[in-house]
Amino acid sequence: MLMELELGLALPNQTPVDIKRHIKQKRESAEAFDNGEIENKKLCLLLWSGQPNEEEDDRRGSQRTDNKRINEEENIIVGWPPINSMRKELLHHHHQQYHGGNWIARFPGRDNNNGARNRMSLLVKVKMEGVAIGRKIDLRLFNSYQALKHTLLHMFSKYLKIDRNGTEYTVLYQDKEGDWLLAGDVPWETFMESVQRMEILRNDS
């Protein structure tokens, strides 16, 4: 049973066209929508972009329709709901402690932006061993390795039966110099500055 990770809100039937258009502008693939779909589809407040693009070697045309629902990609709506960074950060720590770190937030303040300071988003490709289609995620949504790994495994669990504990999987990343390293060894900020792409391997392979 696929767990609906994407947080959804249903659009009303009488959405003024302009609202739709404005939220549309935030998306990377507006083509995924046509008017008929919008009524029934959930407009996702928080998603990762997983649209395969031209660079992907293993992209298959036939997958497209299947993935349309999974790959609805909206960028997170920046700065919404309007809560200031300080409050978000404090709530995040609270959640990490008491709810297993599942809370995903827009990156607050300057402490976390060191490497990614001038970039509006930090999209990296993630491939999972055994899964044909890679995904793209915005690393700025995360604050820790734990949250990232948890989310990645959850994301890929749609394709493969995955042990949710994640103990059987290793997360690797490729840094700026092209070397493949184990995720988790360096401080999160350093990781954010150098990560180019990621890969998840099964430990028994």
Partner 1 sequence: MQVVWLSSSLALRDLQAFILHSCSMQMDPKLKKTKDSSSNSANSPDSTHSSFPFPDEVLERVLSLLHSHKDRSSVSLVCKDWYNAERWTRTKLFIGNCYSVSPEIVARRFPRIKSVTLKGKPRFSDFNLVPQYWGADVHSWLVMFAKVYPFLEELRLKRMTLSDESLKFLATSFPGFKALSLLSCDGFSTDGLKAIATHCKNLTELDIQENGIDDFGGGWLSSFSENCSSLEVLNFASLSSDVSFDALEKLVRRCKSLRILKVNKSISLDQLQQLLVHAPQLIELGTGSFQQELTPWQYEDLETAFSNCKNLQALSGLWEATSLHLPVLYAACASLTFLNLSYAALQSGELAKLVAHSPNLRRLWVLDTVGDKGLEAVGSSCPLLEELRVFPADPYELDLHHGVTEAGFLAVSHGCRKLHYVLYFCRQMTNAAVATIVLNCPDFTHFRLCIMNPGEPDYLTNEPMDEAFGAVVKTCTNLRRLAVSGLLTDLTFKYIGKYAKNLETLSVAFAGSSDRGMQCVLQGCPKLRKLEIRDSPFGNAALLSGVEKYETMRSLWMSACNVTMSACRLLAKDMPRLNVEVMRDEGSDDRQADKVYVYRSVAGPRRDAPPFVLSL
Contact positions vs partner 1 (CB under 8 A)? 7-9, 11-16, 18-19, 21-23, 25-26, 45-46, 77-88, 90-91, 94-95, 97-98, 103-111, 113, 117-118, 120
Cα(20)–Cα(108) distance, rounded to whole angstroms?
27
Residue 117 or 161: the one with the smaller Cβ distance to partner 1 is 117
Residue 107 or 169: the one with the smaller Cβ distance to partner 1 is 107
Tell which residue, 38, 107, 32, has the closest CA to residue 76.
107
* Nearest distance in Å: CB 33, partner 1: 15
Strand partners for 8? 44
Rounded to 5 degrees, φ, ψ at 88 are -60, -40
* Nearest distance in Å: CB 196, partner 1: 19
Rounded to 5 degrees, φ, ψ at 40 are -95, -25
Residue 1 or 17: the one with the smaller Cβ distance to partner 1 is 17
* Nearest distance in Å: CB 194, partner 1: 20
* Nearest distance in Å: CB 110, partner 1: 5
Cα(36)–Cα(81) distance, rounded to whole angstroms?
27
Tell which residue, 37, 32, 23, 50, has the closest CA to residue 136.
50
CA atoms in the 13 A half-sphere facing the CB of 23? 20
* Nearest distance in Å: CB 122, partner 1: 12
The number of angstroms, rounded, from the C-alpha of 74 to the middle of its chain's C-alpha atoms is: 10
Residue 107 or 191: the one with the smaller Cβ distance to partner 1 is 107
Residue 38 or 131: the one with the smaller Cβ distance to partner 1 is 38
* Nearest distance in Å: CB 184, partner 1: 22
Beta-strand relationship, 42-46 and 197-202 = unpaired
Residue 109 or 130: the one with the smaller Cβ distance to partner 1 is 109
Three-state secondary-structure class, residue 137: strand
| Residue 126 and residue 197 in contact, taking contact as beta carbons nearer than 8 Å | yes
